[in-house]
Amino acid sequence: MSGSCCDHAIGRSGYCCRCDSEVDDHAVRDFHYLEKGLHLSHGFVNSLKRRRSGMGYGAKKLHLALDLNHTLVHCSRVYRLSPKERYLIRQADSRDDLCRSGDLLIKLRPFAREFLREANELFIMHICTDSEPEHAEIIVKFLDPLKIYFGQRVITGRDMFWLIAVRVSR
Ligand SMILES: [Zn+2]
């Protein structure tokens, strides 16, 4: 089989999730950041974009909650780096995908910035992480220094505790 065989929106690892037909690479957009192997049809991506910009009458905007560590970045304590990884400390100042703050070394996952740029056209994005608030702040500042993507929509470990506490107390 060749070419895109169906009009369905969502596929995984080259196959449509609805009808199982094979999907052409060129007919879909890769969204492995959201889930391994996930791809979406161009038509579906365009409809998400229209929704995001409010053109779909009365359509609810879609919200996307992202974690930080192992999703957008990999974080490590400097003293926990293996001898093989220690070269990263020296490169932190010269590479724009690396940031060191105190004993924290933050490394962007490949194409994280491209992903944020594209996802921002489709979703209202939030950070929802159990990272410590101090760390989350540093990481978000590195990812989104101008607050274009997340604004104030960052929920951290401590905030999550309060969210749960409020729910339980009701
Ligand atoms: Zn299909």
Higher pLDDT, 50 or 86: 86
- The whole-number average pLDDT for the span 25-47 is 88
Contact 80, 103 (CB under 8 A): no
Residue located via tokens 């995908």: 97
Contacts of 129 (CB under 8 A, 6+ apart): 67, 68, 69, 136, 154, 155, 156, 157
What pLDDT, on a 0 to 100 scale, did the predictor assign at position 1? 41
Q: Which domains does the chain have, with CATH numbers?
A: 1-54 (no CATH), 62-169 (3.40.50.1000)
Task: Tell me the range of 4-13, 43-52, 137-146 where mean pLDDT is highest.
Answer: 137-146
pLDDT at 63 over 50: yes
How far, in Å, is the centroid of ligand 1 from the Cα of 61?
25
How far, in Å, is the centroid of ligand 1 from the Cα of 163?
39
How far, in Å, is the centroid of ligand 1 from the Cα of 27?
12
pLDDT at 60 over 80: no
Higher pLDDT, 161 or 65: 65
- The whole-number average pLDDT for the span 125-152 is 93
The sheet with strand 104-108 has its strands ordered as: 73-77, 104-108, 98-101
pLDDT at 66 over 80: yes
pLDDT at 3 over 60: no
How far, in Å, is the centroid of ligand 1 from the Cα of 122?
22
How far, in Å, is the centroid of ligand 1 from the Cα of 43?
13
pLDDT at 13 over 60: yes
pLDDT at 11 over 90: yes
How far, in Å, is the centroid of ligand 1 from the Cα of 14?
11
Using a CB cutoff of 5 Å, list residues around ligand 1, an ion: 6, 8, 16, 18-19
How far, in Å, is the centroid of ligand 1 from the Cα of 48?
18
pLDDT at 91 over 90: yes
Where does the pLDDT of residue 2 fall: very low under 50, low under 70, confident under 90, or very high at 90 and above? very low
pLDDT at 4 over 70: no
CA–CA separation, 31 and 42 (whole Å): 12
Beta strand pairing call for 15-16 and 98-101? unpaired
How far, in Å, is the centroid of ligand 1 from the Cα of 64?
24
